[in-house]
Chain A
Amino acid sequence: MTAADDEAPSRTVRFRYELEAPPAKVWRALTEPALLARWLTLPDRVTGDPASPTRLSVLDCVPERLIRYGWQEASDAEATSVVSFRIAPNAAGGTRFEIVHQRLLRPLPKAANSNLRALSCAA
């Protein structure tokens, strides 16, 4: 991503949460496909049809710190975005969890079109 991509408030949503669970546990929920499927149900843009969900691909991974997914909406080839999940221990023994979801102006990198099952970073 270029520097210009980082300054894009008009097409970025951000959230920050303090979770009670420790980082190692949160990391599993963010990266293991079977666990991800239980909370990150992916929308189809138009019909909400679970048979044609948004596709995820892994772009970036730093174990127990950052996982970045390419987010491709099935019903709109131009609707690409990047979701970054960052975690860090907090003072209460839990986890600070930040979500940054940024709309892209271009297709996802080709190398990123890997099946989510081939998650090479899982701790």
Chain B
Amino acid sequence: MSETDIFKALADPTRRAIFERLADGGRNATELRAGIAISQPAVSQHLGVLRSAGLVVERREGRFVTYSVDPAGVARLHDWLGRYRAFWPERVAALKTLLEDMGP
């Protein structure tokens, strides 16, 4: 599961809404659907994509299944953002130095 899978998984607004509900804590599929006009198979499909992207984990206890956010997946989501949030200020510091060295 690559970073691209994570970004693609969250590009769909319904899937993102489902993921954000999970951020409040583990839920079963019925709770996830509440208030969204979406069928059970559609929820299952979205959860499948989120699991493939490493963002959601599924826990089965007998007939009961609950879903929750996978913290490792969320950390990977912030990887790219974190990396470039640190990268650009350093590069601009180097740019400013270069501009001074370039003379008038």
Contact = CB atoms under 8 A, between A and B. Distances in A.
Contacts of B91: 39-41
B85 to A, nearest CB: 5
Given A10-B10, A76-B2, A78-B3, A25 B99 contact: yes
Interface stretch (A14-22, A55-63, A115-123): A14-22
B97 to A, nearest CB: 7
Interface residues of B, number: 25
B4 to A, nearest CB: 4
B99 A26 contact: yes
Interface string A25-59: 11011000001001111010000000000000000
B37 interface: no
Nearest to A13: B84
In this complex, the member of B87, B95, B98 whose beta carbon has the largest number of chain A beta carbons within 10 angstroms is: B95
Contacts, number: 66
Interface string B63-104: 000000000000001001101110111011011111100100
B11 interface: yes
A41 B90 CA distance: 10
B8 interface: yes
B10 A79 contact: no
A11 interface: yes
A39 B3 contact: no
A101 interface: yes
Given A29-B99, A78-B3, A17 B92 contact: yes
A79 B3 contact: yes
A92 interface: no
Interface of A: 4, 10-11, 13, 15, 17, 19-21, 25-26, 28-29, 35, 38-41, 43, 76, 78-79, 97, 99, 101, 103, 105
Given A13-B85, A101-B88, 6 more contacts: A13-B81, A38-B94, A39-B94, A39-B98, A43-B87, A105-B7
16 contacts: A4-B11, A10-B77, A10-B81, A11-B80, A15-B88, A15-B89, A15-B92, A17-B92, A19-B95, A20-B99, A21-B102, A40-B91, A41-B94, A76-B2, A97-B92, A105-B11
